[in-house]
């Protein structure tokens, strides 16, 4: 029902077409980024069953959306502290 009303309104007022298009694209982009962010290993969704998810992050795989000329190397002191605390 609502779709037919919107289509009638768009037929009468053609200037709404770009507005509806941009709002639809923005909504789809926001939904996609939300789902993409939830698939990252450092995002905690269930904090009781996996309290430290950052321990399972692969350091050789870039975690950013875009990485430009960045090489990650582990810091020896931090690795030694991490091994002592386990």
Tens of pLDDT, residue by residue over 43-73, are 777 767 767 767 777 777 766 667 677 777 7
- What pLDDT digit, counting tens, does each position of 32-46 carry? 998 988 877 667 777
Q: Which two tokens stand for residue 27?
A: 């909504």
pTM across the whole model: 0.51
Q: Which two tokens stand for residue 35?
A: 């789902």
Domain boundaries, the chain: 2-85
Least Cα distance to 55 among 70, 44, 39 occurs for 44
Q: Which two tokens stand for residue 58?
A: 């692969």
Cβ atoms within 10 Å of 63's Cβ, excluding its own: 12
CA 65 to chain centre: 8
């Amino acid at each position: 029902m609502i779709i037919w009303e919107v289509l009638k309104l768009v037929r009468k007022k053609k200037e709404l077409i770009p507005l509806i298009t941009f709002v639809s694209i923005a909504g789809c982009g926001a939904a996609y980024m939300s789902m993409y962010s939830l698939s990252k290993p450092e995002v905690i969704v269930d904090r009781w069953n996996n309290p430290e998810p950052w321990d399972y992050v692969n350091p050789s795989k870039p975690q950013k959306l875009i990485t430009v000329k960045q090489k990650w190397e582990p810091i020896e002191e931090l690795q030694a502290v991490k091994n002592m605390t386990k």
